[in-house]
Amino acid sequence: MTGRVIVVASGKGGVGKTWFAISLAQALALRGRRVALLDADTGLANADVQLGLAPKLDIGAVLSGKATLADVLLPHPAGFHLLPGRSGSGALADAGEHALTLPRRLGEGFRDVVVDLGAGIGTAQRRMLAVADLPLLIATEEPTSLTDAYAVLKMLAADAPTAAPRLVVNMAASHGAGQHVHATLDNAARKFLGRGLPLAGVVRRDAKVRDAIRAQVPLLTRHPTTPAAADVTAIAARLG
Ligand SMILES: Nc1ncnc2c1ncn2[C@@H]1O[C@H](COP(=O)(O)OP(=O)(O)O)[C@@H](O)[C@H]1O
Ligand SMILES: [Mg+2]
């Protein structure tokens, strides 16, 4: 099997990257796909926390050769597997090329590999993004989020000219407001990078997201029909 590698990136932190990666993994799993979620945030790896898991092993054990992928992958009741990250270790950054093989190795056993990439545009993020089959950029309505997403887009255009990134607007006041954010970035991309940025979808701001994170239960389990859950479900369907 050669699974599809979906890398969720944003530039700016706090835009809902980890939450979205988890929710997308679950939505794809609900469509019957075999899904792995790779927590590749080297700064604040916390997908396990949002998922209420307490892993004994993490990505660091795989990269140091102390454990195999199979040893470390944790099944979650939401229907996908998590490869837990390691906060502050720099494990991914230090492991260099070796870390970049992880998505492909996971792709041997999974149909979709969703990668939660840390904030920033350092070397680790940059290289991981360039190996994506589908780079998903997350932005919100905040101007700083837009400029950071654009910076990531520009970097990707230089590193991987054939990549076809798509945009997810998160925490939007409405679908219309989210589409407006998309139009802004799409116009900038057309004008300065010579290529537009298609919209993967808009996720509305929804108080139930915070509630689910607090409860450490994925949103699509806890509130399957709430607006944000419906929006992520629609995005998963659009991604095939
Ligand atoms: N669609 C949304 N509606 C409301 N709040 C959201 C939404 N998406 C994310 N959040 C909030 O944003 C916070 C940050 O999310 P997180 O996934 O940790 O972001 P990141 O990984 O980008 O730093 C969460 O605690 C959550 O409460
Ligand atoms: Mg995060």
> What are the pLDDT tens digits along the chain (240 aa)?
789 999 999 989 999 999 999 999 999 999 999 999 999 987 788 999 999 999 999 998 998 899 999 999 999 999 999 999 986 655 566 656 778 899 999 999 999 999 999 888 888 889 999 999 999 999 999 999 999 999 999 999 999 999 999 999 999 999 999 999 999 999 999 999 999 999 999 999 999 999 999 999 999 999 999 999 999 999 999 998
pLDDT at residue number 170: 98
pLDDT at residue number 92: 63
Q: Which atom of ligand 1 is nearest to the CA of 231?
A: 1
The total of structural domains in the chain comes to 1
By residue range, what is the domain housing residue 192?
4-239
**210 C-beta closer than 6 A to ligand 1:** yes
**23 C-beta closer than 6 A to ligand 1:** no
Q: Which atom of ligand 1 is nearest to the CA of 14?
A: 23
Domain harbouring 46, CATH code: 3.40.50.300
Residues near ligand 2 ion, CB 5 Å cutoff = 17-18
**224 C-beta closer than 6 A to ligand 1:** no
Determine the Cα–Cα distance for residues 192 and 154; give it in Å rounded to an integer. 9
pLDDT at residue number 1: 73
Pocket test for ligand 1, best of 138, 202, 203, 210 (most atoms within 8 A of CB): 210
pLDDT at residue number 122: 86
Q: Which region holds residue 180: left if phi is over 0, alpha if psi is between -120 and 50, else beta? A: alpha
Q: Which ligand is nearest to the CA of 19?
A: 1
For residue 94, give both structure tokens.
């230090």
pLDDT at residue number 90: 59
Residue 238: Cβ-neighbour burial (10 angstroms; 0-12, 13-18, 19+): exposed
Atom 9 of ligand 1, residue of closest alpha carbon: 16
**24 C-beta closer than 6 A to ligand 1:** no
User: Do 52 and 217 form a contact (C-beta atoms < 8 A)?
Assistant: yes
Question: Global pTM?
Answer: 0.96
